[in-house]
């Protein structure tokens, strides 16, 4: 079932435009005064963001969590692999290739004579 495409209006939204102009215009009532005051508020906010959320602080915070998660995943994977290999009574592929039960020459001869 195809959905009808949503209508797209390329014209500017007057309500959204007015709200953005009022919020960003330093001379408007809600703007708070002069151009200098607007720039000072903007730069103060940018400095606050820069000091509280630097990239290295964020990376350091996530690195600890990432290392802990990697340790837990590797322990769980090691446990599951160890359990699976301990429970299996069949020889592994490497064991079967290194020490075959039947001689290889007899298997090849039997398959050639059988065809």
Q: Does residue 21 sit in the same domain as residue 37?
A: yes
Residues sharing a CB contact under 8 Å with residue 21, sequence separation 6 or more, in sequence order: 28
Alpha-carbon distances of 83 from 25, 68, 93, 106, 112, rounded to whole Å: 67, 23, 18, 36, 41
Q: Does residue 42 sit in the same domain as residue 70?
A: no
Q: Does residue 47 sit in the same domain as residue 62?
A: no
In the chain, the number of structural domains is 2
Q: Report long-range pairs for 59-68 (Cβ below 8 Å, ≥24 apart).
A: none
Encoding tokens for residue 71? 């340790």
Classify residue 60: in a domain, yes or no: yes
Q: Does residue 61 sit in the same domain as residue 103?
A: yes
Percent of the chain whose pLDDT exceeds 70? 70
Are 73 and 79 spatial neighbours (Cβ–Cβ below 8 Å)?
no
Classify residue 26: in a domain, yes or no: yes
Domain holding 27, by residue range, is 12-52
Is the pTM value of this prediction over 0.85? no
Classify residue 113: in a domain, yes or no: no
pLDDT one-digit tens code per residue, 51-99? 666 777 778 888 989 999 999 999 999 999 888 776 666 666 677 667 6
């Amino acid at each position: 079932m195809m959905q009808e495409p949503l209508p797209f209006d390329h014209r500017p939204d007057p309500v959204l435009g007015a709200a953005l102009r009022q919020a960003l215009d330093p001379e408007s009532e809600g703007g708070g005064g002069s151009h200098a005051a607007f720039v000072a508020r903007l730069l103060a906010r940018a400095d606050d963001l820069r000091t509280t959320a630097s990239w290295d602080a964020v990376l350091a915070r996530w690195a600890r969590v990432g290392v802990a998660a990697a340790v837990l995943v590797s322990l769980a994977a090691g446990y599951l692999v160890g359990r699976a290999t301990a429970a299996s009574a069949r020889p592994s592929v490497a064991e079967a290739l290194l020490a075959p039960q039947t001689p290889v020459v007899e298997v090849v001869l039997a398959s050639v004579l059988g065809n």
